[in-house]
A and B are shown apart, each in its own frame.
Chain A
């Protein structure tokens, strides 16, 4: 990829969950770490998120869910991306994700799952290595 261009990240809150502390902190942190960050704001449908990802030409999508609806919502975002021909955009999921749900997310094709206590620096490093390897 072009090293001149900043890595573009879409931070999104799918569904009705209003707990956006994590999403905002990650958005601020990645921005400070040199990424181009687009934050969707609350209550985005999977379709809106996929459309924003395509329109903004992002390199990676971060979904934040704390409502327990992470499996259903992530699956829908992936479906929407596939429909819009953008299935290659890697997805990261953060929030309140029980350990037991991590394998299911990985199976859907989620690149990484980050829960409470994760330093932003490690998310940034993960994205850099992941995008560079594409």
Chain B
């Protein structure tokens, strides 16, 4: 902290500089105000280094969760050995993937393993599964196996895991499941698989997304209304702590909220409001905060091209979450206070453009620099062909990986932790971001918290309005996107991308997935023991009506009996009702 005298001298000098240098220049170029800013110590007058930043790996974690992360410890050794880390993966799970039937996806995973993939599955489910329907539902037509793999039953789930045996068995590799409304059912399948393979459930590692509240704000794969959805969250939380203690309970996302249009501040405030609701659910269920908060993860926050703001955002997020955990929830364990997320800053997929798509590589590198400068792997994300269709090409993934490697090994972006610590500019921007997000979070808490702010439509509508405001700014050239709303003249070359390597997913399999899946489902319905299915579903229904009962044991019995995902979800729809889509 500078002394008061020093600050006054600097403030005086700053005024003089404005008068002598800045203002004449603004006048000379006939501007109304300067297009740039210069920061001095007066921008961070009350800045207290130990209180606001501290040291990496210590409260309030502004400078990072660790002095260096696991990947950094062995980066050079890995480069010499040519180890191919799965930077796009989440923890030790592999790259997010999934398509077609379980058989198609299993074969894809085996192919990726032959190409060097070492992690567990990071499963994308198709929308039919994510919305709790079976492939033969009228809602499913045209969607089976499209954006992910179709899982109608425990049988499908087991087929996927045929790719994971021996030294890749489920006590060796973790799994990620991008699933929310039916998360409890998928966790039940995972537990049932362990039982079938004779593996103790306590050995299972992995991360279900299990972040249902953001589905009402963005992404939209909800089934039940928010309150019964929170009961299912509680059931998964309590059950996992007791029986699957190594499973991360949730992967909270601000990413989807920002991608749906939220501002940076809304992203932070809304995802934390959701996180607070999940934490409170654990506390209300009688769990000790330090028993379960360390098992919460974040999948990512949103990103943008505004590199300085995104660095400040990540610093503010870490500090704010640590304070919430310590001050509001009384956490004592540092692991409860940390935001664990696979990537930090990034540009967000909505920053990529369909126009002149190779430009997206330049854009993603900016995000990689930002993440390297705010306590994360300098991950270049997404691959440049993100806006061209579903799924990325192998060569775009190679370019993305090499770009990350270039930032690590050639640019040495990750050799300093929190290089912006103490910058007058960055500290004031971090403070501003945190204060604005805290004000928005307070507003939601005053409404009664995240569930109330979903029920009254506040959060989903605020996101849609922000999305429209962004569109308006682009159309009015208040915000610029190169090749989209500027620099599109006749002299610009449309540099296009040649995809020279095959797409990862087999298009022929994708085209026939629905038909094959329907045949498998019909076979399951013929072969299973109908009475066992009916008995399991009846027990589930009875217990669903009693808020106090944890439904996980019933769900495990149901999946083992051969009940389908939709049959299970339909029973719960009958008891819980269905969520209404939000209007304009």
Contacts and interface: CB of A to CB of B under 8 A. Distances in A.
Interface of A: 15-21, 24-25, 27-29, 37, 39, 41-43, 45, 67-69, 71-73, 76, 96, 98, 115-117, 119-121
Interface stretch (B134-142, B284-292, B297-305, B555-563): B134-142
Nearest to B510: A68
B353 A25 contact: no
A67 B582 CA distance: 20
24 contacts: A15-B139, A17-B220, A18-B219, A19-B260, A21-B218, A21-B464, A24-B468, A25-B467, A25-B468, A29-B468, A29-B472, A37-B584, A41-B582, A41-B583, A45-B139, A67-B143, A67-B146, A67-B147, A69-B146, A72-B142, A98-B389, A117-B354, A119-B475, A120-B475
Counting from the closest, the 5 A-B pairs by CB-CB distance are A18-B220, A72-B142, A41-B581, A16-B127, A69-B142
- Among the interface residues B140, B354, B387, which one has the most CB atoms of the partner chain A within 10 A? B354
A24 B475 CA distance: 16
B354 A116 contact: yes
A96 B582 contact: no
B350 to A, nearest CB: 8
A71 B141 CA distance: 11
Given A41-B581, A41-B582, A67-B127, A28 B464 contact: yes
Contacts of B388: 98
Contacts of B534: none
A65 to B, nearest CB: 10
B109 interface: no
The majority secondary structure among interface residues of chain B is loop
B130 interface: yes
A35 B175 CA distance: 48
Nearest to A47: B138
A16 B141 CA distance: 10
Given A42-B581, A119-B475, 20 more contacts: A16-B127, A16-B131, A16-B143, A18-B215, A18-B218, A20-B260, A21-B260, A25-B471, A28-B584, A41-B581, A42-B220, A45-B139, A67-B127, A69-B146, A96-B390, A117-B484, A119-B474, A119-B485, A120-B475, A121-B475
Contact of A16 (B221, B474, B484): B221
Contacts of A27: 584
Contacts, number: 106
Contacts of B163: none
Contacts of B464: 20-21, 24-25, 28
Contacts of B353: 116-117
B570 to A, nearest CB: 16
Nearest to B132: A16
B355 interface: yes
B259 interface: yes
Contacts of A76: 141-142
Contacts of A16: 127-128, 130-131, 133, 139-140, 143, 221
Nearest to B350: A21
A24 B467 contact: yes
B120 interface: no
Nearest to B390: A68
Contacts of B127: 15-18, 67
Contacts of A115: 354
B226 interface: no
B261 interface: yes
Nearest to A20: B220
B141 A72 contact: yes
Contacts of B133: 16
B389 A73 contact: no
Nearest to A16: B127
Given A19-B219, A25-B261, A25-B467, A45 B138 contact: yes
